[in-house]
Amino acid sequence: MKRRYRFPFGAMSVTDKARELVSKAMETGRLSSGSYVREFEAAFAKLIGTKEAVALSSGTDADALALAVLYDFGANRGDEIIVPALSFVATGNAVLQAGFIPVFVDIESETLNIDTSKIEAVITDKTKAIMPVHLMGKPADMDAVNKIAKKHNLYVIEDAAEAHGSIYKGRAIGTLGDMAAYSLYVAHMISTVEGGVVVTDNNEYAKILRSLRSHGRACKCKICLLNTGDADCGNRFDNDQEMDIRFVFERMGFSSKMNELEAAIGLGNIEIYPEIFNKRRKNLKYLMDKFNEFKPYLVTIGEEEYEVIGPHALPIIVQEKAGFNRNELVRRLEEEGIDSRSLFLSMPTQCSGFKFLGYKLGEFPNAEYMGHNGLHIGVHQDLSYEDLDYFLGVVRSFIKEKISLRR
């Protein structure tokens, strides 16, 4: 029997509007990418503050396709993309799936984000972009990233998978690079169940993304008459080869379209996004404020005056001299009905899929420490202050027990 948690990690909101749109889509029979997807893209772009948003089938695809855009601007397969060592494995996987080589940089323990002081040391003639990750919704040091990118003529693609609503020095995360990739998975504030989206202010990038998500085909209009209605397309045979434009392929592509049912759920989420965001922000701030009592055994990230941390989750790091390990704490939380997740791994040295790149354990000490000692819990909209106090009480009792055993 599946365990029912008193304190589950995540929550998924399916609104009445979403149910209504899903029903309408089912009735019309138009379920592949169509008018709802276009509506979702427009709403998401407006929310982030960009000119364009291109909806995709996952956050991993969002990373990969944003990178694949670079082939139209002189990149070659086997070129290098700089990424932080600590992230969900999708970040590194997407670089490889796009045909590039990930070059890893260690993180700052205090922020969990890429250590910008170490970026320039790994830049080579093959480097094409920096992909900072705003882990747990905490903004990376984008001033430093952009300064380095400008100096070396590199692209910047933000991995904003967990950074819905994050702000850096008055600007929304997602607007600070050439493109930004979001995940719309069930654990995120805006969800389409599965899904992803790339945002950008560059119309040409958006056109290429629309081609890439559909096998690299030549048709890349923002609104497709053929898949949003019954109108004829005047561009269908208007090309040098006089072939159906839907079967003219300009570049190596992917199959990464969002469908109408996913977009319908996403539109419902966007409608209540302010409510979800505010509730999760209150929960995150409440836990961050209370968490200081657990030093020097446990720590979490802090929020600087110039930023807003997007309330994705609460990261927790067991300190070196705590007297207990991460797994002991996780087991206690599990026993008390509190769901948690590990705080990811050092991709190059703790994920075997990257072993072929030749990195050795010990090269990324901060990321590796998080892989052994980090976890995170939910702060989602279905949690009350009573739930948060329950979690804090469990942690408090656990630490007192461990301290007493050491005396």
Q: How far apart are CA 208 and CA 74, in angstroms?
A: 14
Residue 181 Cα to chain centre, angstroms: 7
Contact 113, 134 (CB under 8 A): yes
Task: Output the pLDDT for position 5.
Answer: 83
d(CA 163, CA 131): 14
From 131, 128, 144, select the one nearest 93 (Cα to Cα). 131
123-161 burial, b if ≥16 CB within 10 A, otherwise e? beeebbbbbbbbbbbbbbbbeebbebbeeeebbbbbbbb
Report the amino acid identity of residue 386.
Answer: E
Q: Is the peptide bond before 139 cis (omega within 30 degrees of 0)?
A: no
How do residues 178-217 score in pLDDT, each as one tens digit?
999 999 999 899 999 999 999 999 999 999 999 999 998 8
Fold identical between 16-270 and 274-406?
A: no
Domain 274-406 coded CATH 3.90.1150.10? yes
* CA distances to 116, 166, 220, 245 from 72, in Å: 27, 30, 14, 19
pLDDT > 50? residue 299: yes
- Cβ atoms of 319 and 328 within 8 Å: the answer is no
228 pLDDT above the threshold of 80: no
pLDDT digits (tens, 9 = 90+) for 90-110: 999 999 999 999 999 999 999
Name the CATH architecture for the domain at 16-270.
3-Layer(aba) Sandwich (3.40)
Residue entry with tokens 């749109």: 21
Q: pTM value?
A: 0.93
pLDDT at residue number 237: 62
Q: Are the beta carbons of 41 and 375 closer than 8 angstroms?
A: no
Using only C-alpha atoms, the chain has a radius of gyration, in whole angstroms, of 22
- CA atoms of 350 and 318, how far apart (whole Å): 18
CA gap 25, 34 in Å, rounded: 10
Burial class (CB in 10 A: 0-12, 13-18, 19+), 35: middle
How far, in Å, CA of 162 to CA of 310, rounded? 7
**Average pLDDT over every residue of 101-120:** 98
Nearest to 57 by CA among 110, 94, 101: 94
Cα 407 to Cα 402: distance, rounded to the nearest angstrom? 9
Residue that is written with structure tokens 């797994």 in the block: 327
16-70 pLDDT, tens digit each: 999 999 899 888 887 887 889 999 999 999 999 999 999 999 999 999 999 999 9
What confidence tier does 1 reach under pLDDT thresholds 50, 70, 90? very low
What angle (nearest 5°) sits at the alpha carbon of residue 263, between those of residues 284 and 28? 150
Query: Domains of the chain: which residue ranges?
Result: 16-270, 274-406
pLDDT of residue 249: 77
Closest CA to 225 of 28, 38, 22: 38
> How does residue 222 score in pLDDT terms, banded at 50, 70 and 90?
low
